Amino acid sequence: AKNREPENYRFYQESMNTEALKRLAIETQLRHALQRQELSLVYQPQFDLNTGAVSGLEALLRWDNQELGQIPPKEFILIAEETGIIYDLGHWVMCTACNQVKTWHNMDIELPRISVNVSPKEFIHPDFLSNVKTALDESGLEPGGLQIEITETLLMEHYEGTAKILEELSRMGVQIAIDDFGKGYSSLNRLHTLTIDCLKIDRSFVNGISVGFKEQSVIKAIISMASAMNLKVIAEGVETENQFTFLKDKHCQEAQGYRLSLPLTTEQAEYFLRKTKTS
């Protein structure tokens, strides 16, 4: 028994290998995902808490690979960023989302806003603004119908560059939301100098509503700060009636989450938009 490696060491090595192999498989498959048409978008409705109407849809990327099956974005977006694959993916998402909304408009299905997630690397790439313009031009979608969601991390790590791109987007009429707000400790000083339209309260805070008074005061503070800065607030990850009622009572403008609607396929979203009031 003397020459045996400690069990936990062997376990560590094996799990490292499995991780590395999985990563490699994802990277290899991801390079062909677009061309093999394995990507799609689902759409999660966002609701105006005041009127109950649909205020927009958030486009979320889905990948169904022939060998690996369905892989959640959490597992492939980071790899896409590190390998540069995100540029093509991101451009595809932007164009597909804009085209879909325009298709709906042409069918007399109204939708006030489509939100698209943009990763930091994509956002600061020199081609980003022209890619957005291309997506808008080719689809014919009005810029005001597009919202771009970026995270706080981006604002902190690339503040100077980001501020300029935000100004240009704003000049174009595109709306900007800060995603996962509250998780990244952004400087409020900086926040109020940026041309943004909306804060999306991170799911972890919404979860906290059910926990207690202290957690609730954080959300209340975010809502009143946003209102003072003239920013709209969207609460993410609303899962319970209790959270929904709390947010409504505290005058949070919009909400999304499993309690209100799951992300929908294109066909489901079309059916949903036909039968639901939009604002």
The reply to whether 186 sits near Ca ion by the rule CB under 5 A is: no
Please name the amino acid found at residue 128: F
Residue 233 phi/psi, 5° resolution? -120, 130
Place of tokens 């609730």: 216
The reply to whether 72 sits near ligand C2E by the rule CB under 6 A is: yes
Rounded CA-CA distance 51/48 in Å is 6
Instruction: Candidates 3-11, 73-81, 184-192, 196-204: pick the segment binding Ca ion (CB under 5 A).
Output: 196-204
Find the binder of ligand C2E among 9, 36, 73, 173 (CB under 6 A). Answer: 73
Minimum CB distance to ligand C2E smaller for 29 or for 119? 119
DSSP per-residue letters across 131-151: HHHHHHHHHT--GGGEEEEEE
The reply to whether 263 sits near ligand C2E by the rule CB under 6 A is: yes
Rounded CA-CA distance 116/129 in Å is 14
The reply to whether 149 sits near Ca ion by the rule CB under 5 A is: yes
Rounded CA-CA distance 67/11 in Å is 26
Contact mark string toward ligand C2E, 1..40, x via CB under 6 A: ----------------------------------------
CA angle 159-161-165, nearest 5°?
110
End-to-end CA distance of the chain: 72
Instruction: Candidates 45-53, 72-80, 100-108, 130-138: pick the segment binding ligand C2E (CB under 6 A).
Output: 72-80
Q: Min. distance of Cβ 11 from ligand C2E in angstroms?
A: 29
List contacts with ligand C2E (CB under 6 A).
44, 60-61, 72-74, 77, 93, 117-119, 179-180, 203, 237-239, 257-258, 263
